[in-house]
Copies of this chain bind each other. A is one copy, B any other.
């Protein structure tokens, strides 16, 4: 064996890699479908073609690896969002859990509505009411305490109609897409209107997206030393809303360069797709259209959650891919 040159060994190394003995992750080959939960329609082809073009060094659309940034909305794009955003269900559960320490909530809106299960009054409280719920349940504790509360809730809470844990209501086709992009040198980010610290405790385990690649809405935090131990305290003040025109701002703040691919499902993602696809070179904008009332939900222009109206009107002109959940996906949730 000592007679082998380094070059010869390198050739053998390549063979060994092909055997899968050295590396766990193999690049997708022609015989392996990286997106088995996607039917063989135009959407799948457009996505795979884009990945091929930006990763092929011979292609005029080639993009160097550090610039392969892909951003994903979360609610309605990576996991479900009906009948209301899951974070709002979390806030409602927190109000109920915290109510014994807040007797005043029995007579104060919107807390009374939550405790009475009066969804009509809660809905009427609008954005201001939701903000009050979020501040009361998400602030006033350290970041470590909040993380423990989120983790505990996700371990036990179940969706009101499917009965599933919320982290199992993620979309299998999107998990495959995240894997495929990362296997092709993409860095995947979440850019969501949801709370950044509500997502970070679980996105790495569920999506393979680490905390430093999660962008979201936030409240202010303050650094304090309590009994000699430093903590970060969550304050009841809004810091940033990562929605609509806020999404490109959040992308610029956290990522610092323009993505080349963006995935959303509502008009809250419009500016993120607009910003992404306005860049030079090959760009991919994708909207997930919720069309499957049987396996998931069907909603768009008139929905109070995840409203998709302008995006549907302008997608074709802008060259954005609209994924029809009912026909494009042969699987919705991961197999249990």
Contacts and interface: CB of A to CB of B under 8 A. Distances in A.
Given A223-B249, A249-B222, A254-B254, A21 B12 contact: no
Interface string A203-239: 0100000111110001001110100011010000000
A221 B187 CA distance: 24
Contact of A212 (B9, B200, B255): B255
A157 B196 CA distance: 39
Nearest to A12: B12
User: Which one of A1, A200, A255, A256 has the greatest number of beta carbons of chain B within 10 Å?
Assistant: A256
Contact of A13 (B21, B196, B222, B278): B21
A107 interface: no
A10 interface: yes
A252 B12 CA distance: 45
A226 to B, nearest CB: 11
B10 A9 contact: no
A240 to B, nearest CB: 9
A15 interface: yes
Contact of A4 (B12, B211, B221): B12
B19 A271 contact: no
A167 B153 CA distance: 48
A16 interface: yes
Contacts of A246: 223
How many copies, total?
2
A230 B218 contact: no
B21 A255 contact: no
A335 B253 CA distance: 34
Interface in A171-223: 187, 189, 196-197, 200, 204, 210-214, 218, 221-223
Interface in A255-278: 255-257, 271, 274-275, 278
Interface of A is mostly: helix
A147 to B, nearest CB: 10
Given A6-B20, A6-B21, A21-B9, A254 B221 contact: no
A143 interface: yes
Name the residue in A230, A254, A255 with the highest tally of chain B Cβ atoms < 10 Å from its Cβ: A230
Given A21-B10, A218-B253, A248 B230 contact: yes
A17 interface: yes
20 contacts: A4-B15, A6-B21, A7-B21, A9-B21, A10-B22, A12-B16, A13-B21, A187-B212, A197-B256, A211-B255, A223-B246, A223-B248, A223-B249, A223-B275, A230-B248, A230-B274, A230-B275, A230-B278, A232-B248, A254-B254
Given A6-B16, A9-B21, A187-B212, 17 more contacts: A1-B12, A4-B12, A6-B19, A10-B21, A13-B13, A13-B21, A189-B212, A196-B253, A210-B256, A211-B256, A211-B257, A212-B257, A214-B256, A218-B253, A223-B248, A229-B278, A230-B271
Interface of A: 1, 4, 6-7, 9-10, 12-17, 19-22, 66, 69, 143, 187, 189, 196-197, 200, 204, 210-214, 218, 221-223, 225, 229-230, 232, 245-246, 248-249, 252-257, 271, 274-275, 278
